[in-house]
Amino acid sequence: MVKEIPGCFYNDPEMTEIDLGSIDILGKEECGEKWTELVSSKSRHLMRMEEEWPCKLMKDNHLLYDWLNDWNSDNIAPFKSVLEQKIALPSEAEIFFFWMKETGIRTTWSVFCRNWMNFLFEDEGCILVSPKFEPALLLSNGRSWKGLRSLL
């Protein structure tokens, strides 16, 4: 089973079949609805945002971790550890991971943590949110920022 979103998500490094089966690639309509609900009703991509909460994470310097060296050296463990320790989400929490309004997936927090490298082939403004929990994560150009959406 190989799931890919060309230019965004790849099964490289190879994921377990169980984890791959736990990833739902969203259709454009559902993705757009979830983006509007959870991220922005104004902008379709991080690079087009100005005052919405994802940009405030970067502007207010809520820097979590610089993961680019880990990604380049295929070293999952350090950032995985940071994610598990610094983002207070239950392992089976539903999360949405967006590359933009039209492109995203639904999975669980534990699947993302185990396989974060697979989600970052395109990293110019990836946004991770959970509909039931406040912690959010922004990943862009080798860096990550975290915050609580309601406080931003």
Rounded Cα–Cα distance for residues 39 and 95 (Å) = 12
**Predicted pLDDT of residue 127:** 94
**Predicted pLDDT of residue 1:** 59
**For residue 112, what are the CA distances in angstroms to 29, 36, 66, 97, 109?**
23, 22, 17, 9, 5
**pLDDT tens profile 42-93:** 887 776 777 777 877 777 778 999 999 999 999 999 999 999 999 989 999 9
Per-domain residue ranges for the chain? Answer: 17-151
**Predicted pLDDT of residue 138:** 92
Enter the tokens of residue 110: 């534990």
Q: In what order do the strands lie in the sheet with 143-148?
A: 24-25, 103-108, 94-100, 124-130, 133-140, 143-148, 63-66
Enter the tokens of residue 77: 């463990």
Q: What is the CA radius of gyration of the chain?
A: 14
- The helix (run of H) or strand (run of E) holding residue 61 is none
| Maximal CA-CA distance, the chain | 41
SS3 103: strand
Given pLDDT bands bounded at 50, 70 and 90, which one contains residue 2? low
**For residue 106, what are the CA distances in angstroms to 48, 61, 129?**
23, 27, 10
pTM for this predicted structure? 0.92
Choose the weakest-confidence range: 6-15, 125-134, 139-148.
6-15
